[in-house]
Amino acid sequence: MPVSDLHSSCLKCLGESHVKERCQICKSFRPHTQKEQGIRLRALLMESTLRLAFESSGFPAHWAMESKAAVEAKPNGGMVLFKEEKPEMEARGQWSNKIEFMLSVAGEIVGLGNVWRFPYLCYKNGGGAFFIPYLIFLFSCGIPVFFLETALGQYTSQGGITAWRKICPLFEGIGYASQVIESYLNIYYIVILSWAIFYLFSSFTAVLPWATCNNPWNSDCCVDFLNHSNLENWTAPANATSPVTEFWENRVLGLSDGIHNLGTLRWELALCLLLAWVICYFCIWKGVKSTGKVVYFTATFPYLMLFVLLIRGATLPGAAEGIMFYLKPDISRLADPQVWMDAGTQIFFSYAICQGCLTALGSYNKYNNNCYRDCFMLCFLNSATSFVAGFAIFSVLGFMAQEQGVPISEVAESGPGLAFIAYPKAVTLMPGPQLWSCLFFLMLIFLGLDSQFVCVESLVTAIVDIYPEVLQKKGHRELLILAIAVIFYLLGLMLVTEGGMYIFQLFDYYAASGMCLLFLAIFEVISVGWVYGADHFYDNIEDMIGYRPSPLIKMCWKVVTPGVCVLFGFAAFEMQHGSFLDQHETKASDNALMANWQEQLLCALLSLHVCEEYCLGGCLCRSQ
């Protein structure tokens, strides 16, 4: 039977649920269609009866229709003559075109990790040799799960929770667990934007405030290493600190002595955080109508800035040495399990899998959109961006190392250390440092903003799809987004206190860590590959795009991805636990408690729903 005829077949004949009225094979209505058909016939009969009653009473017949009280037939055969007008319901919405979808997904997956984490991991783990484990995890886990979530959202047209409910109610807890991770991200990820906004405002000064030690927040230990690097027989004090480090720790963070001392609220950061949430709110408050337009700028501007910084970095002295340091392969590093751990973690986090985002974004696609081709294009774009960003970053670090006369390994950092210490220090050595500082932090803001408002949109979509009869009413969605923004802003205030950086590190270390994402990835591929059925899902995908994807994807769902994730999970647990105790010995009990609590919560969300479905005698899968 042609694919076009599948839309006219019923669940009984071909297992297809998209039939509109009557099956073209057995000529029967679906069960609920029969019920709806009967209701419509009774409504027409009662409408005719009412029209005759109006005419016989001397009233115009059209009064029966023009009055706001329409005739309604109840399923039990009763009739309501004067029906209360229902509030206006808004349509769920779709992307206006494919470009909006592509830019939205690109904005989500291409984020801060591509700029401040991947280049450092590449240098740290053997340069060019790091691409071997990176590509293995990309093709065995990254692309298969990325495609699974996107196709699931497009097929069901539902968010991260109800999509799993539709295809496999037994594993609906996967959706709830992914939204827990999403909520963690919404609390702490946007704090990075508040730091970048603070640095951006601080860049509009005649002299960058982190360039000298002549500021009120500088201590007696502050030393401008650049001014002393050319002096002979000069030795830095043992406890010396640089002005850029003191600006970060004393001026921006007001860092306390530990997590036990949160201190006071940093009101300037709180205002920057508020500004970030206001921008985020107005980017998504109209759903895909506004998000689809905003991403034309927010998703493309970072690439422009990255290109400008790449060209500028390549023209600096010492750039070649930095790039060689970035790419020089060290095959012996592949024997270190930590290299493989870093590659797997980078793939899971940078591709935003197991977070519900891809399912939500895919749900706004047209039903026949070629999501298979889109996924490969987006995955290539994400990895290529990470690779190119390494050239932009390490060319500047090579220049900074040459200017200071130190090895590149002493200036190379990862995470916030790169974005708010190493790179700001590098721009102070360039001509026109204010310009390059503004461009760099604008790039960080837009990279983070895309990821942030897609995270919020994903959570909103999941909630709206659970309660559509309430939240799809006109104006209710905007109120929901406002409530979410206010709640997460208030929760985020604890991260902009003097001890907030320690809480941020806890969230960053555990909230969306490899362990949590691995745990969900295993359940996702098992539920689709084995419970719902990989062949059945391939039939659904063929109905959407017109052909079946490569059988290698199906093999990954059923065997390769769960096997790799299980092996990776055991190794990650052992290594993460050991390194955690070594690096955070003084706070081991607190951190271990939080990690244990979160993992138990995720397990409970999954297992409790499985028990509920089992005890209530629910079916294993709606399609079977």
Please enumerate, by residue number, every residue annotated as part of a binding site for Na(+).
Answer: 107, 110, 114, 350, 382, 447, 450-451
Amino acid letter at 66? E
Per the structure block, which two tokens stand in for 550?
A: 């490569």
Tokens (6 digits) for 229: 């690097």
**For residue 414, with 0-12 CB atoms within 10 Å meaning exposed, 13-18 middle and 19 or more buried, which class applies?**
middle
Contact 595, 507 (CB under 8 A): no
Residue 497 phi/psi, 5° resolution?
-90, 180
172: phi > 0 → left, psi -120 to 50 → alpha, else beta; which?
Answer: alpha
Amino acid at 525: V
Q: Look up residue 425 and give its two tokens.
A: 């220090």
- The closest of 509, 600, 37, 71 to 259, measured between CA atoms, is 509
Q: Is 318 helix (H, G, I), strand (E, B) or coil?
A: coil
Q: Which helix (H) or strand (E) holds 312?
A: helix 301-314
Q: Is residue 297 exposed (0-12), middle (13-18) or buried (19+ Cβ within 10 Å)?
A: exposed
d(C-alpha 58, C-alpha 280), whole Å = 59
* Amino acid identity for residue 196 in this structure: A
Q: What is the DSSP letter of 559?
A: I
Instruction: Please state, in angstroms and rounded to a whole number, the distance separating the CA atoms of residues 160 and 167.
Output: 12
Alpha-carbon gap, residue 464 to 352, rounded angstroms: 21
- Please state the three-class secondary structure of 173-237 as a single string: HHHHHHHHHHHHHHHHHHHHHHHHHHHHHHCCCCCCCCCCCCCCCCCCCECCHHHHCCCCCCCCC
Exposure string of 17-32, with b = 16+ CB inside 10 Å and e = fewer, is: eebeebbeeeeebbee
- Written as one letter, the residue type at 565 is C
Tell which residue, 480, 128, 535, 8, has the closest CA to residue 284.
480
3-state SS, residue 241: strand
C-alpha triplet 534, 378, 445: angle, nearest 5°: 130
CA 499, 500, 506, 509 dihedral sign is: negative
Residues belonging to the binding site are 107, 110, 114, 350, 382, 447, 450-451
* CA 41 to chain centroid: 47
Residue with tokens 């002005």: 243
Distance CA 300, CA 297 (A): 5
Three-state DSSP at 62 gives: coil
DSSP state of 2: -
